[in-house]
């Protein structure tokens, strides 16, 4: 296990170095992401601010929701973006064949190679939104709250990781996984807003079927002392961690299942 | 002219290769519509009108935004940047057609595809369930269609200019992020300019982006008189001319860089 960690760190060091090797393009990438996601955040705030509330949520509470989404996506992306997003290309070009004959477990190898520094931009936007929100809402974090924050971000990041797996693993079977990826992305965008504003059927789906509600809505409720939503339960914030672990496990099994059905394009 | 028609057809076909994806796209855009409509309904609870805009106006705005987006969402910038960085632009330049217009035509084909598989279904649903209506005055409809054509051209030329950056940056680094962000922030593609705070409104007012989304929609909703609508058309043409001139300038500079690299 310790060997793996050392391996991971070594690989990451090389990967990160190559990423920032060309300073200018790395800088532009980060700026692009800050501008892109910053614009989304600003528009979200502008919209809710003009109307005072969406559901029971005020503009700064929406910012907290947004920052949760942003930060956990960045954490998941930092470790798994490259792993999954490159998969269709690796299958098409036969690069995956190369990976399979390496003297190392392919999953471990790909995870080791997959770390990405490009999420610095997302994290920056997420943190700015978080601090603006916390400062304006005068939220005071006790020791327990800080612990909960870490656990909830962990759980929610695991959900985001599993979304990557479910979006990209189908490319083992499909020539183009864009359709599947987009539809999952569309469903996930429900969780950009407090899910209490949707009708009960959608809320049910987002809580029990496609638990995107646990990415940001239920965790934010904990810090805002909110109890809106048709299926609200006080155990939901804690449940986030369980949902995260379960989905991450399912996502992992799905990936392994896909990998075992891999047929080389043959070249 | 006919060769450009061929490009349009090609752009359409390229997108239609993966049939299943096309049908999933319809589903996805309906989900998107459901979310946006739900959001505005939630915002309008206990309010009949905000800044003179009713929920019904807003629903029409959402539908029109989605139609305009399907026509202006383009890969021109990335495509051009890729051609520059991988060097294939050198062969593009000796082909017997204009690179810019061939790219625009291919993109128009792709956008027609996007319209059919993403915003046309939305339009149908909106007419049946959401009381989507045409402007009461036909003259406004005519001006809207003209301004809509202008906004497509405006977005393409903006894309092309952003793509030209690749000559200096040497990398096709996500040029689209900048455009999408500008459309959102200054164009009103998510929230119309009526709801903007003063500072953001004054910045947006100076930039061309609002002529792609907000101003055509304003005409459609008849939120301005006919004179003002004509004025919007003139302003769009003004920006198109300015941007084409800018593109010529950047292009002539870029050509010098190509000769440096060539050989």
Q: What is the pLDDT of residue B263?
A: 44
Helix axes A143-168, A178-188, angle to 10 degrees: 150
Higher pLDDT, A150 or A234: A150
CB-based contacts of A210-214 (< 8 A; 24+ apart in sequence): A211/A159, A211/A243, A211/A247, A212/A159, A212/A187, A212/A188, A214/A155, A214/A156, A214/A159, A214/A239, A214/A240, A214/A243, A214/A244
Other beta carbons within 10 Å of A213: 29
Q: Distance between CA atoms of A83 and A242, rounded to whole angstroms?
A: 24
Tell me B222's DSSP state. T
How far does A210 lie from chain B, in Å, by closest CA?
14
- With CA atoms as reference, the chain B residue closest to A52 would be B43
Higher pLDDT, B170 or A17: A17
How far does B82 lie from chain A, in Å, by closest CA?
14
3-state secondary structure of A224: helix
Query: Testing the interface with A: which of B16, B184, B196, B202 to mutate, by most A Cβ within 10 A?
Result: B184
Interface confidence, given as ipTM, is: 0.85
The answer to whether the beta carbons of residues A79 and A111 sit under 8 Å apart is yes
- With CA atoms as reference, the chain A residue closest to B200 would be A46
What are the φ/ψ torsions at residue A215 (nearest 5 degrees)? -70, -50
pLDDT above 90: residue A153: yes
Q: How far is CA A212 from the centre of its chain?
A: 11
What value does the mean pLDDT take over residues A167-196?
85
Q: What is the pLDDT of residue A155?
A: 93
Nearest to B189 by CA among B72, B109, B31, B25: B72
Domain ranges of chain B: 2-261
What sign does the CA torsion over B139, B142, B143, B144 have?
positive
Nearest to A82 by CA among A22, A11, A131: A11
Q: Which helix H or strand E contains B3, and what residues bound it?
A: helix B2-15
Is B224 near chain A, with CB under 8 Å? Answer: no
What sign does the CA torsion over A245, A251, A255, A261 have?
positive
Q: What is the pLDDT of residue B92?
A: 77
Q: Distance between CA atoms of A257 and A173, rounded to whole angstroms?
A: 11
Helix axes B55-72, B19-43, angle to 10 degrees: 150
Tell me A191's DSSP state. G
Question: Out of A29, A51, A193, whose CB is closest to B50?
Answer: A51
Q: What is the pLDDT of residue B171?
A: 65
- With CA atoms as reference, the chain A residue closest to B191 would be A47
Is B24 near chain A, with CB under 8 Å? Answer: yes
Q: What's the pLDDT tens digit per position in A234-258?
A: 888 888 899 999 999 999 999 989 8
Nearest to A220 by CA among A26, A3, A69: A69
Q: What is the pLDDT of residue B239?
A: 94
Query: Taking the model in full, what pTM does it have?
Result: 0.86
Other beta carbons within 10 Å of B206: 8
Which stretches in chain B have pLDDT values below 50? 263
Q: Between residues 49 and 78 of chain A, which touch chain B (CB distance below 8 Å)?
A: 49-51, 53-55
Query: Cα torsion for B144, B148, B149, B153, to the nearest 10°?
Result: 150
Q: What is the pLDDT of residue B50?
A: 86
């Amino acid at each position: 296990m310790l060997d793996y960690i050392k391996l991971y760190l070594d690989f990451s060091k090389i990967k990160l170095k190559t990423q920032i090797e060309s300073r200018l393009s790395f800088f532009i990438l980060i700026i692009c992401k800050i501008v892109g996601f910053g614009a989304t955040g600003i528009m979200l705030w502008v919209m809710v601010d003009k109307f005072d509330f969406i559901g029971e949520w005020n503009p700064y509470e929406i910012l907290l929701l947004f920052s949760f989404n942003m930060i956990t996506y960045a954490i998941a992306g930092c470790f798994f973006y490259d792993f999954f997003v490159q998969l269709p290309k690796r299958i098409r070009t036969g690069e995956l064949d190369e990976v399979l004959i390496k003297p190392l477990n392919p999953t471990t190898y790909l995870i080791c190679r997959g770390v990405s520094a490009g999420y610095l931009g997302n994290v920056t936007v997420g943190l700015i939104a978080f601090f603006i929100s916390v400062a304006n809402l005068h939220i005071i974090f006790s020791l327990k709250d800080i612990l909960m924050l870490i656990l909830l971000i962990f759980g929610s990041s695991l959900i985001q990781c599993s979304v990557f797996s479910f979006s990209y693993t189908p490319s083992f079977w499909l020539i183009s996984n864009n359709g599947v990826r987009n539809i999952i992305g569309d469903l996930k965008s429900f969780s950009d807003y407090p899910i209490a504003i949707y009708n009960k059927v959608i809320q049910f789906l987002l809580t029990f079927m496609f638990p995107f509600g646990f990415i940001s809505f239920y965790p934010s409720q904990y810090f805002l002392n909110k109890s809106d939503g048709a299926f609200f339960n006080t155990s939901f914030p804690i449940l986030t961690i369980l949902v995260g672990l379960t989905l991450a496990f399912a996502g992992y099994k799905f990936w392994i299942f896909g990998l075992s059905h891999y047929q080389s394009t043959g070249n | 002219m006919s060769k450009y028609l061929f490009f349009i057809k090609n752009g359409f076909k390229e997108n239609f290769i993966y049939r299943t994806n096309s049908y999933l796209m319809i589903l996805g855009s309906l989900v998107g519509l459901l979310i946006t409509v739900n959001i505005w309904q939630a915002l309008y609870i206990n309010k009949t009108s905000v800044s003179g805009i009713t929920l019904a106006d807003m629903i029409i705005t959402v539908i029109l935004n989605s139609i305009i987006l399907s026509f202006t969402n383009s890969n021109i910038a990335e495509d051009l940047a890729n051609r520059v960085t991988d060097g294939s632009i050198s062969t593009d330049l000796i082909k017997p057609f204009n690179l810019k217009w061939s790219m625009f035509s291919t993109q128009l084909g792709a956008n027609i595809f996007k319209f059919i598989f993403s915003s046309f279904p939305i339009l149908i649903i909106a007419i049946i369930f959401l009381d989507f209506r045409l402007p009461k005055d036909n003259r406004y409809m005519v001006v809207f269609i003209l301004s809509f054509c202008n906004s497509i051209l405006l977005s393409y030329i903006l894309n092309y200019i952003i793509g030209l950056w690749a000559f200096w940056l040497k990398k096709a680094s996500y040029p689209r992020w900048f455009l999408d962000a500008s459309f959102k922030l200054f164009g009103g593609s998510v929230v119309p300019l009526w709801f903007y705070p003063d500072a953001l409104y004054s910045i947006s007012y100076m930039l061309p982006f609002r002529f792609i989304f907000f101003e055509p929609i304003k005409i459609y909703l008849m939120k301005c008189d006919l004179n003002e609508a004509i004025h919007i058309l003139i302003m769009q043409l003004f920006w198109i001319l300015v941007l084409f001139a800018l593109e010529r300038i950047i292009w002539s500079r870029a050509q010098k860089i190509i000769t440096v690299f060539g050989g």
